[in-house]
């Protein structure tokens, strides 16, 4: 087991190296870069920009050499745990990305949304499966399909319009009420939660569908298997048949799916955050992307790649835990 | 579940359709369903299925399904059983009016080719037909259960140990630390001593009741399944839950059906059961997962599981089909031993005539959802009357025969959705007489125990 994990970690490191190379090359191949955008801005504001100044700029930002040169410089710095500074505001990348305001907000939204997603989607999937082709099944299926099909920018905007603009139950956007000093910590938390409610609701409703469909399909497959018939033939109650014998088998793909969700907890919901004006990591990364802020994008994406690789490893380990037939070697 | 069966039926339908479309046989009108027809069928089915599913779930008092046996020597009487599958292609009449009974302490074998309704009959008896498509539509299944007697509160009534004078023996009540419990006056408190059987399980009063299983709501089936009748399935490889240990799955039966069973008692009993079905190292198998065992071992585990509830009737649905011949012999021997051990009966379903010959006291031959011949094993084997039974006998490979090709009955089973109204075997029969185009033949009694449904044996006057 230990040997297996070490082996997998070594392989993961190689994968990460490959990912970083591809990422860096792609970023450098973008039709525009940070300097170019900056020059355009300067020129637009009527300043004279000399060629020397441009060369100087490229040199300062380390973009003067070839792509491979740039990559190895970046890689060498990373091995010295130097992830560079953001092109945009010259602050340390690590501090920028792991800022509790950014990563924290996104993680809070994603974590709460994931918990609710599972709490709602799994029971829905199970009832839909155990009442296959009944009215309940059709209603649940149609509702979650609507959820899957709605684009987040539209659905988020709609919720905002109904609950914030028309009904006024929730604030329209942002993280906290502007210009208010809180009397107590409880009030501050309450205000924060009120601001987070609509974004979380959007993410939950949009993600329930896929998870519910998956649970339903798995459950149906399990319920049609021979060992469920055996369990019934023993005289077990239907609830025990479903929640003990069938559920453990349905859980196998769900648990491994949970491990695969780890990166999405930290990646942030780009569009939802933009709609609700949250300073999450998603909208921050989107901004960095449009401005070609290479150190930020590299670090952000490498962090997600790392989480993905670890998530896959965790999923495999989880498989061995929930399914006795799987042996790791 | 019964999708297996259903699939088989579907296969048959497909086969039938393929045959119809072949140029040699075409010309008999259309052989497909239009979308409109399918929708109409589905609509009609949905209505029917909803009605049956509702009946399964409703709560009814016990009196509504209590009944009487026709013959007290029987443990199970199936009468005019109809089990249908409501598919989108039409209603598949998998079991279409089956009547037979199982006497106490005997083995009844049901034979027939794949898809003739053998398994569906057994599933109907256990009420395991996969709803909503599979339903018992008509008929009754009377089962003599030996259930625990209950007092007014619904509790079991214990049997107390008595001394030679017929007085109930009192035993002292102990505190947790093993000292005697005393009442306020300092006198030891006593309670009546419950009778224990050889394995230390408390005995409760039992009574015989006859249930009509076809009318029972599924909730009430829980006390019959596993405890009164148990089932051994044909697929040992997939019939055990892969994520639980053998022990866990075996213990469940004891914990469920033996009143007052504890985990340690369940484990002890499970190991005993494993030992009983001839598993070496039962402790190791107890802790193993199903995938760690061979097919034969798994089938033994299934049998142990069936035995654990001490049932009166074991339904073995092709228990040896998936096993190789040496294991098959061992398993069959095990079943033969079992019958005396459980003091009950076995319903053995198989398509293997050899197995039937070895095991069964009575044989029921099924064809296309109906019984075409039934009698004692010797009658069926030595004097088969129905042309189909005779054909089955001839198609059995033997060591002695020198013929190059094995006999086979020509043709196919008729489409289970569109059954003809004459004898189902007519098209394949080589002994047809004029009457065969008439109505479906009635059961004719040819000896006190031997019945056959064939016009060849109709008495002269009709």
DSSP A184: S
Q: Which residue of B has its CA nearest to A247?
A: B243
Residue A236 at interface with chain B, using a CB cutoff of 8 Å: yes
CA distance B238 to chain A (A): 6
pLDDT confidence of residue B267:
92
pLDDT-based confidence at residue A176 (cuts at 50, 70, 90)? low
Q: Which residues in chain A have Cβ-Cβ distances shorter than 8 Å to B119?
A: none
Look at the pTM and tell me if it is higher than 0.90.
no
The domains found in chain B, sorted by start residue, are 3-106+115-147+209-225+364-457 (3.40.50.300)
CA distance A316 to chain B (A): 16
The mean pLDDT value for A247-273 works out to 82
| Most confident by average pLDDT, A9-18, A34-43, B404-413 | A9-18
Where on the phi/psi map is residue B369: left (φ > 0), alpha (ψ -120 to 50), or beta?
left
Displacement of CA A327 from its chain's centroid (Å): 30
First and final C-alpha spacing in chain B: 44
CB contacts < 8 A, A to B, total: 81
Displacement of CA B188 from its chain's centroid (Å): 52
Q: Which residues in chain B have Cβ-Cβ distances shorter than 8 Å to A319?
A: none
Instruction: Encode chain B (462 residues) as per-residue pLDDT tens digits.
Output: 444 545 445 555 555 444 444 444 334 456 677 888 888 888 888 888 888 888 888 888 888 888 888 888 899 999 999 999 998 888 888 998 899 999 988 999 999 888 888 889 999 999 998 878 889 999 999 999 887 887 777 778 888 877 777 777 777 777 777 777 777 777 777 777 777 777 667 788 888 889 999 888 888 888 889 888 999 988 888 999 999 999 999 999 999 888 878 899 899 989 998 988 888 899 999 999 999 998 888 988 998 898 888 888 999 988 888 777 887 888 888 888 887 777 789 999 988 888 888 889 999 999 988 999 999 999 998 999 999 988 888 887 777 766 677 788 888 888 878 888 888 888 888 888 888 888 888 888 888 999 999 888 887 544
Residue A131 exposed, middle or buried by CB count within 10 Å (0-12, 13-18, 19+): middle
> Do the chains contact at A248 and B222, CB–CB below 8 Å?
no
H-assigned helices in B288-369: 295-308, 325-342, 353-359
H-assigned helices in A168-280: 185-223, 226-233, 238-240, 247-260, 262-267, 270-275
CA distance A323 to chain B (A): 6
Distances (CA, A) of A275 to A98, A315, B104: 22, 32, 75
Residue B86, C-beta contacts closer than 8 angstroms, at least 6 positions apart: B45, B48, B49, B92, B132, B133, B135
Residue B211 at interface with chain A, using a CB cutoff of 8 Å: no
Token representation of residue B59: 């709560």
> Do the chains contact at B302 and A230, CB–CB below 8 Å?
yes
> Do the chains contact at A323 and B238, CB–CB below 8 Å?
no
Q: Which residue of A has its CA nearest to B57?
A: A238
Strand, coil or helix: B88: coil
Q: Which residues in chain A have Cβ-Cβ distances shorter than 8 Å to B298?
A: none
Residue A290 at interface with chain B, using a CB cutoff of 8 Å: no
A314-327 residue pLDDT tens: 888 888 888 888 88
Q: Which of B224, B235, B243 sits opposite A324 (nearest CB)?
A: B243
> Do the chains contact at B241 and A233, CB–CB below 8 Å?
no
> Do the chains contact at A233 and B242, CB–CB below 8 Å?
no
State yes or no: pLDDT of A166 exceeds 90: no
Yes or no: say if B89 and B13 are a contact pair by the CB < 8 Å rule.
yes
Q: What is the CATH number of domain A102-322?
A: 1.10.3720.10
CA distance linking residue B84 with residue B96, whole number of Å: 8
How much of chain A exceeds pLDDT 70, in percent? 98
A110-124 residue pLDDT tens: 888 889 988 999 999
ipTM surpassing 0.90, yes or no? Answer: no
> Do the chains contact at A226 and B239, CB–CB below 8 Å?
yes
Domain boundaries, chain A: 2-97, 102-322
> Do the chains contact at A235 and B240, CB–CB below 8 Å?
no
Distances (CA, A) of B333 to B100, B233, B261, B352, B414: 25, 17, 30, 15, 36
A143-155 residue pLDDT tens: 888 888 888 888 8
Cis amide linkage into residue B391, ω under 30° from 0: no
Which of A134, A230, A254 is the best residue to mutate to test the B interface, defined by the most B CB atoms within 10 Å of its own CB? A230
Q: Which of B222, B240, B241 sits opposite A235 (nearest CB)?
A: B222
CA distance B72 to chain A (A): 26
> Do the chains contact at A226 and B128, CB–CB below 8 Å?
no
Distances (CA, A) of B336 to B105, B106, B346, B347: 11, 10, 9, 12
Q: Which residues in chain A have Cβ-Cβ distances shorter than 8 Å to B1?
A: 224, 226, 228-229
CA distance A238 to chain B (A): 9
pLDDT confidence of residue B188:
76
Q: Which residues in chain B have Cβ-Cβ distances shorter than 8 Å to A245?
A: 241, 244
Please, which residues 100-139 of chain A have a Cβ atom closer than 8 Å to chain B? Answer: 133
pLDDT confidence of residue B1:
43
Token representation of residue B86: 């409501």
CA distance A214 to chain B (A): 20
Q: Side by side, which strands form the sheet with B206-212?
A: B90-103, B74-87, B134-148, B206-212
The mean pLDDT value for A16-29 works out to 90
> Do the chains contact at A235 and B224, CB–CB below 8 Å?
yes
pLDDT confidence of residue A38:
82
pLDDT confidence of residue B83:
92
Please, which residues 24-83 of chain A have a Cβ atom closer than 8 Å to chain B? Answer: none
Residue A226 at interface with chain B, using a CB cutoff of 8 Å: yes
Q: Which residues in chain B have Cβ-Cβ distances shorter than 8 Å to A248?
A: 241, 243-244
């Amino acid at each position: 087991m230990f040997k297996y994990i070490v082996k997998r970690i070594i392989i993961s490191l190689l994968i990460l190296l490959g990912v970083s190379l591809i990422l860096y090359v792609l970023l450098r191949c973008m039709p525009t870069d940070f300097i170019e955008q900056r020059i355009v801005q300067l020129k637009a504001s009527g300043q004279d920009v000399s060629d020397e100044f441009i060369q100087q700029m490229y040199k300062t930002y380390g973009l003067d050499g070839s792509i491979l040169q740039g990559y190895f410089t970046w890689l060498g710095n990373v091995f010295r745990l130097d992830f560079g500074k953001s092109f945009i505001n010259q602050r340390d990348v690590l501090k920028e990305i792991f800022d509790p305001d950014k990563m924290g907000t996104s993680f809070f939204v994603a974590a709460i949304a994931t918990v609710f997603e599972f709490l709602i989607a799994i029971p829905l999937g199970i009832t839909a499966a155990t009442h296959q082709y009944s009215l309940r099944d059709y209603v649940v299926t149609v509702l979650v399909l609507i959820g899957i099909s709605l684009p987040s920018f539209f659905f988020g905007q709609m919720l905002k319009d109904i609950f914030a603009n028309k009904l006024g139950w929730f604030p329209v956007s942002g993280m906290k009420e502007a210009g208010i000093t809180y009397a107590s910590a409880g009030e501050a938390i309450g205000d924060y939660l009120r601001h987070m409610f609509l974004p979380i609701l959007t993410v939950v409703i949009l993600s329930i569908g896929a998870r519910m469909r998956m649970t339903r399909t798995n459950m149906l497959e399990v319920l049609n298997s021979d060992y469920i018939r055996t369990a019934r033939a023993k005289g077990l109650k239907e609830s025990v048949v479903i929640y003990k014998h069938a559920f453990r088998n349905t859980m196998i793909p769900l648990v491994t799916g949970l491990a695969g969700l780890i990166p999405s907890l930290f990646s942030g919901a780009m569009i939802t955050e933009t709609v609700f004006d949250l300073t999450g990591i998603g909208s921050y990364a989107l901004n960095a992307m449009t401005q070609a802020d290479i150190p930020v994008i590299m670090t952000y994406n490498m962090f997600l790649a790392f989480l993905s690789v670890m998530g896959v490893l965790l999923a495999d380990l989880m498989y061995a835990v929930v399914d006795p037939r799987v042996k790791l070697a | 579940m019964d999708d297996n069966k259903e699939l088989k039926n579907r296969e048959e339908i497909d086969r039938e359709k393929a045959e119809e479309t072949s140029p040699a046989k075409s010309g008999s009108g259309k052989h497909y369903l239009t979308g409109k027809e399918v929708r109409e069928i589905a609509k009609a089915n949905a209505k029917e299925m909803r009605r049956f599913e509702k009946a399964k779930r409703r709560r009814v008092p016990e009196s509504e399904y209590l009944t009487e046996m026709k013959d007290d020597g029987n443990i199970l009487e199936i009468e005019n059983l109809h089990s249908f599958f409501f598919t989108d292609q039409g209603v598949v009449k998998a079991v279409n009016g089956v009547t037979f009974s199982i006497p106490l302490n005997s083995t009844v074998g049901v034979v027939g080719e794949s898809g003739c309704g053998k398994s569906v009959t057994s599933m109907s008896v256990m009420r395991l037909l996969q709803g909503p498509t599979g339903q018992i539509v008509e008929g009754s299944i009377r089962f003599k259960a030996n259930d625990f007697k209950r007092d007014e509160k619904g509790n079991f009534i214990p049997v107390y140990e008595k001394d030679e004078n017929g007085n109930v023996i009192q035993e002292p009540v102990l505190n947790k630390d093993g000292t005697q419990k005393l009442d306020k006056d300092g006198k030891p408190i006593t309670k009546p001593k419950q009778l224990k059987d050889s394995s230390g399980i408390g005995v409760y009063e039992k009574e015989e009741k006859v249930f009509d299983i076809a009318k029972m709501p599924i909730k009430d089936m829980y006390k019959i399944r596993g405890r009164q009748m148990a089932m051994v399935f044909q697929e040992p490889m997939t019939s055990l839950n892969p994520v639980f240990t053998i022990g866990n799955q075996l213990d469940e039966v004891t914990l469920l059906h033996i009143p007052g069973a504890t985990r340690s008692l369940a484990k002890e009993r499970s190991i005993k059961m494993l030992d009983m079905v001839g598993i070496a190292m039962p402790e190791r198998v107890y802790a193993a997962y199903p995938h760690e065992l061979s097919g034969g071992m798994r089938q033994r585990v299934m049998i142990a599981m069936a035995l654990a509830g001490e049932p009166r009737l074991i339904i073995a649905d092709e228990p040896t089909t998936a096993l190789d011949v040496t294991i098959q012999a061992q398993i069959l021997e095990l079943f033969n031993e079992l019958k005396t051990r459980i003091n009950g009966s076995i319903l053995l379903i198989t398509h293997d005539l050899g197995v039937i010959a070895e095991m069964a006291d009575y044989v029921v031959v099924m064809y296309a959802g109906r019984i075409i011949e039934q009698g004692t094993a010797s009658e069926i084997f030595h004097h088969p009357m129905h042309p189909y039974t005779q054909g089955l006998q001839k198609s059995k490979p033997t060591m002695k025969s020198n013929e190059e090709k094995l006999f086979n009955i020509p043709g196919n089973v008729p489409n289970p959705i569109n059954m003809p109204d004459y004898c189902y075997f007519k098209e394949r029969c080589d002994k047809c007489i004029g009457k065969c185009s008439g109505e479906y033949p009635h059961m004719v009694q040819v000896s006190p125990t031997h019945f056959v449904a064939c016009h060849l044996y109709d008495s002269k006057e009709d």
